[in-house]
Structure 1
């Protein structure tokens, strides 16, 4: 093999390197093209319907414990005189105090009454209304955003994870990456790749990152970790009593940080495990650990770029106000969003609080939504990227009426 061999041709040629091509999605010059804006956006879909009343607790409302005698029994760190954070997220309190963590309560998509995970997530990622004709929009709202951004062919967005992310689906080009289930690279192949990219600093760094991630995801005790054993070493240690995050969380965060420190501007991924119908006090701890670790790893990995970053986590709907007979909660309506990053105005819980009196509940059972998830996202895009309000209301989120600016960014 000659030294002048084309690098991209080498990968496209399908040489048997003993590793999935998914380990090297970034070895393309297009990935490093310029972006038309300098801020970064991380959107996380919390699949399964996160219980916003448990994560961001209205502890100052005396009705909370009446509706939830078990779930509200423990005290979490106080955010202010009314709100508490779930104790599993205590590690995020330094961000709250620094104004780098926030929340929006009593929000939802336009989805109502049917409470199906599949339909709710479809609407959340499409960014449309319930009365939008089926099939009219076959792309996600982040992809529609990219379609109108000058230089969108630069591929400034990444979809991270194994499952589909319809939020980025559509004609605008995006990059995709997932830690493959079998990405082992032989020592000979590793040496070959290192020599091949040695003279090209950006490509050498990208290949090294991909190779490190393959090793992280294929340690001999992977099966034990998936069954609940120890996870790989993380950049940010967890308290010993906390549940360990899933083994992919650090890989997701590290890969996202690597790209966002370069020219990628938008990253989308999803975290599951939020469908807490039974034993919620225990079952919600692992997904909360994943969320906390993702935020902390991103903050550590992004360094100074964190100051330009907005992190927005959203879910398909909230959960019932009253705990059920299995000490869990069922599918509801109003819920919460979690925001983080140096680009957001944190240190406060936004949203108009509807109250927990029986007459204040939606359908007599759910938190009444007083805000639209799409409006929150639209204001982030408007402030972060300068997207025109008319385009946000008519194209990115068709039919949306942006409410007064909540001052989230």
Structure 2
């Protein structure tokens, strides 16, 4: 009997152990390990994350005060980082991220201001105060495009979903070769350009046009980007024979979004002076207030001031022959003695001085006498050295082949009929 009970108990224990092993061996769904989210170099799981945009009239101090940072600390932060970032220059509409403590205080620790899709400034005041300007990694993707003009270049690009920046860049590249205000129907273009991407899929805009072809009035115009002087490392555009496309001076002190409202005219009647004949020794380029005004050539700023009917203005001496002046600015961006390069922003369109509307009056001196810039035969920019031309021609062989192989985008019948 004892032996029987011993066998029975042993059997029961065996079954129990087997059942236990069976239960343990069954696959059970395991809890997933949470994946930490990193952005701007921080583990966002460690913080209370606040993402917002700068509101009109909102300041750095207001944002930090709202997130439990006292004004003595705010003032210390502003003073410490002023050489890296001026907190007074936050712009409405720009996104920002604030990282705060994950405790009852919810006190701000890090402020990240995004200037654009690529550039941002990190202000970390967790322990010590540190500010640094950072860029997100950027990938450059080469693309091609082409089109046939039906009414305007900008409309043709828009119909293809292409950036307006391309139109502005092309008009700059061909500024002295093609009059973009007088394009003809059926003019054609092809371009090879680079587009910037962040996070592999988010477009951050056009980087550069590497090469272009424009067929205007049945004539071909090539443009290839090239550094002809390795000592200066300045890129410029040259045609298929190695001739520089740019002139020493730009045609206009504004890049885009302008029209000429009044030309150089020594017999013009001016309403603001009682409709009397009064020489107008400038060319007026109308554009909205705040539009950037650019230097039309390299030079040194000789005047930056406000005076009478000129309002706020800047004058630049380019060499012993030429000087230019830019009147009626809302704000000047350079001071006397500054060296500026062609295309640098020197101020912004305004209505200061004697003016009836927002514009920049562009004045042009040659040998000390004011002349009409639109009638001057201005010199080309520095030409390519003779010994560099064979190197250049060899370097553009593949790119020219690529441009030539691009097929022009067909015009739809609906668009052609407009």
Higher fraction of helix: 1
TM-score for both structures, normalised by structure 1 = 0.24
Q: Which has the higher contact order (CA 8 A, sep 6+)?
A: 1
Of the two, which has the highest radius of gyration?
A: 2
TM-score for both structures, normalised by structure 2 = 0.24
